[in-house]
Structure 1
């Protein structure tokens, strides 16, 4: 008998599970379908909100993309509050985080729009503005999510006292 590969992961065996039957495999599609569905629904909602923001506050061609920066900053603030609330305050349903955190906020804040904005600024001979956006966005995003989480924790602690 050949010894197992040193990096092989051994799975616990359950005599009542037949791994030849797909419905009995761990992580079967039927277990993941609700998560996939709420992420898709949330993503569509967040993307529609982002599109609405771009329609309400369009950026000038070649100008600084303020809408993208504001939307990404607002989304980071919301995720900072949301993560504290669902971690420290509220025992949320298992589909809340995938729906709102991954779906809605993932569709609302997006790296692709930011990257396209940088590329368009550089292509329009506004490289300095593109580089400013390239550096400013992650700094503002990280500072905003951290600040929002910090303030939310302070409020929660104050209210519980």
Structure 2
């Protein structure tokens, strides 16, 4: 048996690592982060009080993400413009707009300052309201897609 060289296996680069995909996420993230920064800079909570701006940002972001992803998934394949919208708006804009890290720091600050009930309520309320908002966004998108006759899958 003669030794022969086996050619290397070439795997296509995953779609999320392609330069265009990275640019969409980066540009969208810059927009979302800027909007969040401007909103949070406009209303700074007093020490020991619920940071309502972050709460509203995270809940509205969950709603919009639930609606966007449901609408995209129910109207066709994750290719072309749908993939660009998912990456640019979903991962980019809404990923930059919402903020788990600020939420976690705010909960830690409230608890560390002795505002146990406020911190605990803020933590639980944000998680529950975010889940409810995402579910409402999902339901609204299902209804809108069905009403427009654009549903690709049952």
**TM-score bracket relative to the smaller structure:** 0.7 to 0.9
Sort the Cα spacing of 1:90 and 1:121 in 2 relative to 1 into closer, same or farther, 3 A: same
Select which of 33, 38, 42 maps to 1:47.
33
1:111 to partner: Cα distance: 0.5
Deviations 1:5-46 (A, max 9, x none): xxxxxxxxxx8x755xxxx553189x6222122111111111
The 3 A distance-change label for structure 1 pair 36 and 125 is same
Question: Does residue 114 of structure 1 match 2:100?
Answer: no
2:22 to 36, 47, 50: 36
Moved over 3 A (4+): 89-92
Q: Which runs of 5+ in 2 are unaligned?
A: 1-5
Asked which structure has the greater RCO (Cα within 8 Å, sep 6+), the reply is 2
Shift of residue 114 of structure 1? 0.3
Map 1:69-148; keep pairs closer than 5 Å: 69-89=55-75, 93=81, 94-148=83-137
> 1-side partners of 2:76 and 2:49: how far apart?
42
- CA drift of 1:155 comes to 2.6
Q: Distance in 2 between matches of 1:108 and 1:28?
A: 25
Change (3 A) 1:18 1:78: same
Q: SS state of the match for residue 145, structure 1?
A: helix
Q: Which has the larger radius of gyration?
A: 1
- CA RMSD between the two structures: 2.5
What TM-score do you get using the length of structure 2 for normalisation? Answer: 0.80
Q: Which residue of 2 aligns with 1:27?
A: 13
- Contact 2:29 2:93 survives alignment (8 Å): yes
TM-score normalised by structure 1 residue count: 0.77
How many angstroms apart in 1 are the aligned matches of 2:71 and 2:31? 21
Structure 1 unaligned spans of 5+: 1-14
